[in-house]
A and B are shown apart, each in its own frame.
Chain A
Amino acid sequence: MSATTSNPSAGSDSQTMRAVLGFAAFGALLALVGFLQSWNVMLAIFNLCLISAVMALGVNIQWGYAGLFNVGIMGFAALGGVAAVLTSTAPVASAWQAGGLGILASGAVTLGVIALAVIAYRKLASGPLKTLVMLVVIIGGYFVIREVYDPAVAAIEADNPAQSGFLGGLGMPIMLSWAVGGVLAAAAAWLIGKVALGLRSDYLAIATLGISEIIIAMIKNEDWLTRGVKNVTGLDRPVPYEIDLQGAPWFTQLATDRGFDLVEGSSIFVKLAYAALFSSVLIAVLALCVLALASPWGRMVRAIRDNEVSAAAMGKNVTARHLQIFVLGSAVVGIAGAMLTTLDGQFTPGSYQPLRFTFLIWVMVIVGGSGNNLGSVLGAFFIWFIWIEAEIVGNWLMANATQFLEEGSALRTHLIDSAQHMRLFTMGIIMLLVMRFSPGGLLPERTASR
């Protein structure tokens, strides 16, 4: 925030230079991978860079615009994955027949219980009677719900458990799920924001940590919804399959004309198609973010972030603004989560790990430059690249660094084995160093309007 004080226009220029240099350096790194390893590997890394960038943008909206510390990114990303399954898989008629009605009924009962509880909460005067009625409604309601819900779940999960055992989805194109993922994540964010916003700032952090773990637990255990840990594989694709391309006359023609290998070419073509889709989402989100930040709304949220007390004194509803920003940011994370599941072609709840999905994204945002949208994108690109390549380089370094030790010695084996854990350590050090010595990150927040 203080880096660009002396001369605003010159500062802005050097900002642009930094951005151009940063992205050029990233391009060079990718090219290096392309030449040294393979273009397929390069594109695979790049696609994940794009998705990470969208996720980092979502987090940047929360942290950079409003100073909200969300430690539950993993949960919102997983909801995106749920959306991908629920949108794209075909409905399972026999499962619906077995327990669809029961699930719907238990949903209705749940809503009824909540409504009753809300009515009791609003209508009754405070006192022991109110507490008693609330307890009876909630605990009694819980048993009624379980009475309807349990047999329905058992019926659905017993329906061809090895291949299916869930209700299935809507059978719609998977691209639609990106929007649905945003909506699901937004809904979860609204609930958690209602509870935790307006209290101490670190309560939100603790609450999001909890909700993300619970979302993962539900996804793992509610088999009737998304097959739980049995995973959903072979999800729909928005792009053609490699194997179809290899059989398509136009593509084989192209391969012979241009003289590239058919199999490798098809794989690259598919990755390029994904890259195009993800890039358009990234550019759209980025453009919206930039526009929003420059609008009166953007100025207001930054004013709130920099001084909540005076913003509140000016009549701004701080908590409502925070809720809005929290919901928006989480929705963007949800979109990215759906995109990730689409790219994987499968939904595997076991692979959601907090270090990979929550804290890594945080490092991206901090390194990139909190508050600066382009910075988050650049941070995401670089950090994902380091995360992926660090293991290879780390292994290589460890192998060389331990050359002097006797082959097969316990210490040497141990050090080589632990190379992979060095990346957690490295990420932590990077995060602490950037926070301390370069709080603006790679691309510090612009203060051009001053």
Chain B
Amino acid sequence: MRKLLMATTILAGLTGAAFADGHEVKMGVILGFTGPIESLTPNMAAAAELAMKEASDSGKLLDGKTIVPVRGDSTCTDAAAATTAAEKLVTADNVVAIYGADCSGVTTAIVNSVAVPNGVVSISPSATSPALTTIEDNGFFFRTAPSDARQGQVLADVLKDRGITNVAVTFTNNDYGKGLADSFQAAFEAVGGKVAISAAHEDGKADYSAEVGALAAAGAEHLAVFGYVDQGGKGIIQTSLDTGAFSKFILADGMIGESLIEAIGADLNGTIGTLPGSESQGAATFQDVAKAGGLEKVDGPYMPESYDAAALVILAMQKAGSTDRKAIADNIMAVANAPGEKIMPGQLAKALEMIAAGQDVDYEGASNVTFTEVGEATGSFKELEVKDGKFETISIR
């Protein structure tokens, strides 16, 4: 069904907006449907599209408008391809806002080259590079995921509390991996830890024995892997176990996924990691909403953030009282933060009604949304540990 939808929307793009009657509002969904996190993106898109469907079905959005998602492929890595895809969404499909992109590099590219120049809001569920905090976005960029500067800090605290003082770090050789490794190292050294070695690995290599050899030579017992679950990160862990170089791992958000446990198995028990998210009422409610909405998976990484990103655009649209791109951007902060009544996942209809009646709302959503001044989530993180072949939440930080 998803593929068919994609094919038909592409077809619609080719022949010009054939079925754009006055009741439909288009929203761009730009994620890396191909590339290093392609196993995560279908679930993320489904979560965002769930929020759109919820609002459309309520019939309360701007007097009965429906939202039509239009997908584009960010590839996660190729900035030129991502900007072309975004350009097409904005200029040919005339979307009112962009949900996405996913990876930090392409997100920066889209914000700089498409979102800001065309005055379209772009709201990312998963771009976590610290550099995006200070991007000159003229108020057109938001993210429901917290910055990696924060994740580095949380990871450092987790290790300190567990009494781990010496780690080897390997990161995927891109802006996400490098940025996180930098912020983690700074935070870890500030709490008295020692990073024995910090070395990059390239994704998509068949063989990581040289990288693991160098990491092992540094003499730390724990290996922190800041990479992607479907990519080199998995290879690093496999090679480490095969050669007996490391048996204790620390994972960041990009590495958290069921596919890792499926691939590695019991050797992964005892691994610790962090992932943006919370055990709040919102997170639990979201899983119920997602189940009721018929999603295949309800607890995938970045699914809550995705739902929230789409929901924020929808509420801002209602608050603005129009589908004007600038007006949507201007109203996002107002619906995301206090004052107002707290809104949970699945309550979009209620929120739309309240806004229409002129009342304030404070969208909490699935991930406890509170934006900082520059429009990014302050963010809470789950501390995870693999026990009996499952990621279990130990605490919330």
Q: B1 on the interface (CB 8 Å rule)?
A: yes
Q: Is B15 touching A36 in the complex (CB atoms < 8 A)?
A: yes
* CB of A355, distance to nearest CB on chain B (Å): 11
B136 contacts which of A38, A234, A348, A416 (Cβ < 8 Å)? Answer: A234
| Residues of chain A contacted by B16 (CB below 8 angstroms) | 36-37
In whole angstroms, how far apart are the Cα atoms of A322 and B7 in the complex? Answer: 50
In whole angstroms, how far apart are the Cα atoms of A356 and B121 in the complex? Answer: 30
Q: Is A162 touching B130 in the complex (CB atoms < 8 A)?
A: yes
Q: Is A161 touching B182 in the complex (CB atoms < 8 A)?
A: yes
Proximity bits, B92-126, A CB within 8 Å = 1, else 0: 10000000000001001100110011110000000
Q: A388 on the interface (CB 8 Å rule)?
A: yes
Q: A350 on the interface (CB 8 Å rule)?
A: yes
Q: Is A243 touching B138 in the complex (CB atoms < 8 A)?
A: yes
Which positions 146-189 of chain B face chain A at CB distance < 8 Å?
Answer: 149, 173-175, 177-179, 182-183, 186
In whole angstroms, how far apart are the Cα atoms of A327 and B247 in the complex? Answer: 51
Q: How many A-B contacts are there with CB distance less than 8 Å?
A: 131
Q: Could you say which of B79, B108, B183 has the most chain A C-beta atoms within 10 Å of its C-beta?
A: B79
Q: Is B84 touching A44 in the complex (CB atoms < 8 A)?
A: yes
| Residues of chain B contacted by A38 (CB below 8 angstroms) | 91-92
Q: B357 on the interface (CB 8 Å rule)?
A: no
Proximity bits, A339-356, B CB within 8 Å = 1, else 0: 000001110101101000
In whole angstroms, how far apart are the Cα atoms of A353 and B81 in the complex? Answer: 12
Q: A392-B10, A399-B4 are in contact. Are A230 and B118 (CB under 8 A)?
A: no
* CB of A269, distance to nearest CB on chain B (Å): 11
Q: Could you say which of B3, B119, B149, B186 has the most chain A C-beta atoms within 10 Å of its C-beta?
A: B3
In whole angstroms, how far apart are the Cα atoms of A210 and B79 in the complex? Answer: 24
Q: Is B87 touching A41 in the complex (CB atoms < 8 A)?
A: yes
| Residues of chain B contacted by A220 (CB below 8 angstroms) | 173
B10 contacts which of A165, A353, A396, A408 (Cβ < 8 Å)? Answer: A396
Q: Is A230 touching B179 in the complex (CB atoms < 8 A)?
A: yes
In whole angstroms, how far apart are the Cα atoms of A408 and B6 in the complex? Answer: 13
Q: How large is the interface on A (under 10, 10 to 19, 20 to 34, 35 or more residues)?
A: 35 or more
B84 contacts which of A233, A243, A388 (Cβ < 8 Å)? Answer: A388
Q: A38-B92, A162-B149, A264-B91 are in contact. Are A395 and B10 (CB under 8 A)?
A: yes
Q: B196 on the interface (CB 8 Å rule)?
A: no
In whole angstroms, how far apart are the Cα atoms of A233 and B137 in the complex? Answer: 12
Proximity bits, A228-240, B CB within 8 Å = 1, else 0: 1111011000000
Q: Is B112 touching A234 in the complex (CB atoms < 8 A)?
A: yes
Q: Is B109 touching A163 in the complex (CB atoms < 8 A)?
A: no
Q: A308 on the interface (CB 8 Å rule)?
A: no
| Residues of chain B contacted by A408 (CB below 8 angstroms) | 1
Q: A13 on the interface (CB 8 Å rule)?
A: no
| Residues of chain B contacted by A413 (CB below 8 angstroms) | 3
Q: A5 on the interface (CB 8 Å rule)?
A: no
Which positions 149-186 of chain A face chain B at CB distance < 8 Å?
Answer: 161-163, 165
* CB of B150, distance to nearest CB on chain A (Å): 12
Q: A220-B173, A264-B91, A344-B113 are in contact. Are A351 and B119 (CB under 8 A)?
A: no
| Residues of chain A contacted by B88 (CB below 8 angstroms) | 37, 41
Q: Is A392 touching B13 in the complex (CB atoms < 8 A)?
A: yes
Q: A344-B79, A399-B4 are in contact. Are A37 and B175 (CB under 8 A)?
A: no
Q: A38-B91, A351-B79, A407-B4 are in contact. Are A396 and B108 (CB under 8 A)?
A: no
* CB of B228, distance to nearest CB on chain A (Å): 13
In whole angstroms, how far apart are the Cα atoms of A350 and B175 in the complex? Answer: 9
4 interchain residue pairs of minimum CB distance:
A399-B7, A242-B117, A40-B91, A162-B130
Ordered by A's residue number, 5 sampled pairs between the chains whose C-beta atoms are within 8 Å are A162-B183, A163-B134, A223-B178, A229-B173, A351-B77
Task: Identify the A interface with B (CB < 8 A).
Answer: 36-38, 40-41, 44, 161-163, 165, 220-221, 223, 228-231, 233-234, 241-243, 246, 263-264, 266-267, 270, 344-346, 348, 350-351, 353, 388, 392, 395-396, 399, 407-408, 412-413, 416-417, 420
Supply 9 further A-B pairs (C-beta < 8 A) apart from A267-B118, A396-B10, A412-B3. Answer: A36-B16, A162-B182, A231-B175, A233-B131, A243-B119, A346-B79, A350-B77, A408-B1, A420-B34
Task: Identify the B interface with A (CB < 8 A).
Answer: 1, 3-4, 6-8, 10-11, 13-16, 34, 77-81, 83-84, 87-88, 91-92, 105, 108-109, 112-113, 116-119, 129-131, 134-136, 138, 149, 173-175, 177-179, 182-183, 186, 200
